[in-house]
Structure 1
Amino acid sequence: MASRANHHVLLSCVLLCAAALLCSEFAMGGAVESQPSKPPAASNFPVASDVRLAGDSKQTRFILDLDQPITFRAFPLADPYRVIVDIPQVSFQLPAGVGTAGRGLIKAFRYGLVMPGGSRIVFDLTGPAKIANAQVLDAANGQPPRLVLELEEVDRATFHSRPELRPAIADATEAAVPVVAKPEVAPKPQVATATDLRPVVVIDPGHGGPDNGTQSGGESEKNLVLGFALALRDRIEKGGKYRVVMTRTDDTFIPLADRVRFARNQSAALFVSIHADALPRREGDAQGATIYTLSDRASDDEAERLAEAENKADAIGGVNLTEEPTEVADILIDLAQRETRAFSNRFARMLMGEMKTTTRMHKHPLKSAGFRVLKAPDVPSVLIELGYVSNKDDLEHLVSENWRSRTVGSVAHAIDAFFAKRLATAGPGN
């Protein structure tokens, strides 16, 4: 018992030191901040009712219609080129499918909740651009209050030269007052009482907020997996054997690193990430559930493609990405990862055995790849792709209450079997 405790203490110290040494702040260009003439009512979220794009590949304008003025903060990012607009929590009542098609410098844009009280709009750009003008206009001449963002094309060298960008930003916001800070998004801590010694199971519904995940037939992955995760939480909690916490319980964006950090901070005994895949039409019509574990080398091309897509979630949500360390020089981390991967693989096999009794499985149901969300070195972790939203039959299952209930039951049974075997083989003093 003491040896295992010392192992985890040393591992935590190593990871904290590595994080401190490798942490760096990355900023591209300058930020634009603005304050409206009057703040929105605290009891009523502002409503965004319509949006328009105008212009060409040299200059592009974005206009968002609101029912009241709001504060905002806008800033550009590179690799990939994006513009992020952080605003107070807004009720987006925009036409279906808006943002999937762009214009001019804007390839596409997404929007959603990134934290309680804060929303975000993420613009994917065709190339480097500067924020030439950004302001909130009061209602006038029959027009509602509007958030207006104007982008201008620049070359890469100019984009990365902050002195070249700052004059344009400063000119656009002479009286700007910072109100909405760039949110540092992290799941709310859910701390157990000192006497609660039950194993902790972390359930991680993928995507959220401006990151919709895959979409098909009017259904978004982020909503489908959240519904499944909430049902799984409720099922597990009824048994009372485990303390269950979730990385998100609503339509909020959580960066991948925060999901991993959350599981470690909770001293999780198991981490289950829930997703639903999709394939481009040219790659056929795959179907069935798949269970993924972490590995340095993908088990096949499809696993590699999926890992690459899922690992881009932070870029989709507008997170400022930094390079992860390629090597951390401490043998403790390697040893912990080996043990953790063994437990992860054991749970994956148990999960497959249970799930195949209630739902259709992929022809190769056990796979592995380098998913960032599975990289906690001391938390057994799996990622479940419940099915393919791009497959008609799978999508019918994903929206079915009956299918969800049966599949949730099979996952809960697998969790019971995993912990029963782990406790039985642990022996006294472990």
Structure 2
Amino acid sequence: AAAQPAPAAGAEAGAPPGRPPRALPGGLAVERGFFGHALWLGLALDRPAAYRVFTLEAPPRLVVDLAGVDLAGLDLAAVDHPIGVAALSRAPAGPGWSRLVLELERPYAIETAALEPEGPGATLRVALGRVGAAEFAARSGAPPGVQTGAVDPESPARPLIVIDPGHGGVDPGAGRDGVAEKEVTLAFAEALRDALAATGRFDVALTRADDAFLALGDRVAQAQSLGARAFLSIHANAVEDAGARGGIVFTLSETGSSGAARDRAAIENRADLVAGLAPPPTADPVAEALGGIRAAEGRARSVELARALAEALRPVTEGGTQASLQSANFQVLRIPEIPAALVELGFLSNPEDRARMTSPEWRARAAAALAAALAGWTAAGGPLTRN
């Protein structure tokens, strides 16, 4: 029914880290081919961004959502649209998202969607093929929790939770017996997204939604540009001791709660090196993140968030660590204005943990537990007030 890929890695050279990506002027094109049996859409951005595409009925239309992208530079009236496309428009998409809508004169289903890097920028390409009305209806529909109607200005905005599935692409993360951390984290992030959406209390975004590499700094920048009210980075551990098991929830600290915690952060902070990127800075950003009144408030909320998540994981994990609460200097937690936590679901090096993490039933149960914890944390005033 919908395609929801993630961005390729990259950033515009010299772009301010908090500045959202932009659609390039004149960068939108819609073409028709194969005697009306195909439509192609291309949208050029100055930087990669997360996106989702899906079709809706009554009337038939293609919806293109872009995470935090500024569409002000697009002149839709100047875009030539071929036979088969009745209209082009912008539409509300909820906090943190921009939306383009192509109203279709006849049913077309999504065949492929991909974000292709081009220099510092990227182009989103969507291909559609003609289908019958019944097939169009079967393949249409928005992803769980995605707004499809108008925004009610009187209704309070729902807090946006950004979920970060660790690793991806050329960086598989930890692994044992053919199970890669990048696969475990994405599957769980999708389950958590669905569990949060089912509560009706949150908007949710994923930093990646397929097997794409994403630099550590880009993960943080996405949360900042989207205005996230909380950031959860999902991971899985692996060590030499096959007896180590259970979940761990980390918050940011400069020194780390233990030698093992410091070692774990050092491993995760080297993720960019797998893709040949420069290593992240190690000292100044942490001092920055841990300084100031606003950062102190964010740090306190992060600890409360991590404690709630650890307590929620305990009933669904087993073993020695029992979803313990620890701290370390993780680069993806250096977000002073956003409560953030890193969740280790378990140990891939432990057969029981590995079996749990690859079980859809366990994922659904654990995701529901974390969603309930986030709901309780939010009700208790967890997200920071945003001015």
Is the CA contact 2:333–2:340 (under 8 Å) kept in the aligned structure 1? Answer: yes
Q: How many residues align?
A: 254
1:312 aligns with 2:266: no
Is the CA contact 2:289–2:295 (under 8 Å) kept in the aligned structure 1? Answer: no
Instruction: Measure, in 2, the Cα distance between the counterparts of 1:338 and 1:303.
Output: 22
Match for residue 401 of structure 1 among 348, 356, 360: 360
The 5 A counterparts of 1:371-410 are 371-410=330-369
The 5 A counterparts of 1:25-64 are none
Q: What is the Cα deviation at residue 368 of structure 1?
A: 0.2
TM-score, normalized by length of structure 2?
0.59
TM-score, normalized by length of structure 1?
0.53
Instruction: Measure, in 1, the Cα distance between the counterparts of 2:284 and 2:327.
Output: 19
Instruction: Measure, in 2, the Cα distance between the counterparts of 1:363 and 1:117.
Output: 42
1:222 aligns with 2:174: no
1:117 aligns with 2:142: no
Question: What secondary structure does 2:243 align onto?
Answer: coil
CA offsets, 1:20-57, max 9 Å, x none? 9xxxxxxxxxxxxxxxxxxxxxx9xxxxxxxxxxxxxx
Q: What is the Cα deviation at residue 210 of structure 1?
A: 0.3
Equivalent residue, structure 1, for 2:201? 241
Instruction: Measure, in 1, the Cα distance between the counterparts of 2:167 and 2:374.
Output: 23
The 5 A counterparts of 1:19-418 are 116-117=115-116, 181=119, 195=153, 197-279=157-239, 281=240, 283=241, 285-321=243-279, 323=281, 326=284, 334-360=292-318, 362-363=321-322, 365-418=324-377
Unmatched tracts of structure 1, length 5 or more:
1-15, 21-42, 44-114, 119-179, 186-190
Instruction: Measure, in 1, the Cα distance between the counterparts of 2:210 and 2:306.
Output: 27
Equivalent residue, structure 2, for 1:168? none
CA offsets, 1:87-126, max 9 Å, x none? xxxxxxxxxxxxxxxxxxxxxxxxxxxx8335xxxxxxxx
Give the percent of matched residue pairs that are identical in Structure 1 and Structure 2: 35
Q: What is the Cα deviation at residue 334 of structure 1?
A: 2.1
Question: What secondary structure does 1:288 align onto?
Answer: coil
Pair 1:384–1:184, CA change in 2 (3 A): farther
Give runs of ≥4 in structure 1 deviating > 4 Å.
Answer: 16-20, 182-185, 191-196, 327-333, 423-426
Pair 1:364–1:250, CA change in 2 (3 A): closer
Is the CA contact 1:289–1:385 (under 8 Å) kept in the aligned structure 2? Answer: yes
CA offsets, 1:200-246, max 9 Å, x none? 10000000010000111111100111000001101111222111011
Instruction: Measure, in 1, the Cα distance between the counterparts of 2:207 and 2:384.
Output: 29
CA offsets, 1:50-77, max 9 Å, x none? xxxxxxxxxxxxxxxxxxxxxxxxxxxx
Unmatched tracts of structure 2, length 5 or more:
1-13, 19-39, 41-113, 124-145
Question: What secondary structure does 1:422 align onto?
Answer: coil
Q: What is the Cα deviation at residue 348 of structure 1?
A: 1.2
Is the CA contact 1:358–1:407 (under 8 Å) kept in the aligned structure 2? Answer: yes
Q: What is the Cα deviation at residue 319 of structure 1?
A: 1.9
Pair 1:331–1:292, CA change in 2 (3 A): closer
Q: What is the Cα deviation at residue 315 of structure 1?
A: 0.8
